[in-house]
Amino acid sequence: MILMFQNLSVHTIGFINAARAKNHWKDSVAKVFRMPIIYSITLAFIFKFSNYDLTRFPLWPSLNYAANALVAVNLIALGVQLAKTRFRLTNKDVYLSCLIRLVIGPILAITLVYLFQLKGIIAQVAMISSSVPTAVNTALIAVEYDNFPDFASQTVMISTLLSAVSLAFVIYFARVLFPAF
C-alpha cells in the first residue's frame, strides 16, 4: 500500500507540478489522465478483489518480462540524462533537496508512524521508504516536461551517493525504534 500510494502521488501530483512549468494547470491535469499508471493501479485494485488468477492470463509471461526490465530501462534513461547533465557540485539547492529527502523525510516519517500508531514491520517500512534516495522517475519526469532536468538529475545522483551512509542509519534506527516482534 505504501508503494502504491507513493507511485500514485508521484504520477499525479508530481506530473501536475512538473507540467505546470510550461502548461496551464488544466493541461497538466489532462496529461495525468494520459499516463498508463493511473489505469494500471485501478486495474490492479480490480484484480486484487476479484477471484481471477492473473498468472493464467496468456500475456502474463510478457508482462512479467516487462516488469523485470523496468529498472534496467529506467537506469539506461537516467544514464543518458546524466551524460547530458552539466554537474555543478556547488549547487546548494541540490544539497538542500538531498537533506530534506534523506534527513527530514525520516524525521517526518517517525512523526507520522507515531501519529498513526503503526507498529513493527509496517512502521519500519514506512520509515525506511521515506529515506530512500530521490527516485529515477523524478529525473525522467523533469526531462519529459523540460522542468529543470539538470537539477533533477544531479539530485538523483547526489542523493543516491549520500544514501549509502544515511540509509544505514535509518535502517538501524527503524529496527531499534520499531522492533518487528
Confidence grade of residue 118 (pLDDT, cut at 50, 70, 90): very high
pLDDT at 83: 82
More confident site: 42 or 65:
65
What would the DSSP string read from start to end of 76-89? HHHHHHHHH----T
pLDDT at 100: 95
Condensed to tens digits (0 to 9), the pLDDT of residues 46-86 reads 888 888 888 888 988 998 998 899 888 878 877 887 787 77
Confidence grade of residue 98 (pLDDT, cut at 50, 70, 90): very high
Q: Which three cell numbers stand for residue 136?
A: 529515477
Condensed to tens digits (0 to 9), the pLDDT of residues 133-149 reads 988 888 888 888 888 88
> What is the number of alpha carbons within 13 Å of residue 49 lying toward its C-beta?
5
Answer yes or no: are the C-beta atoms of 113 and 178 closer than 8 Å: yes
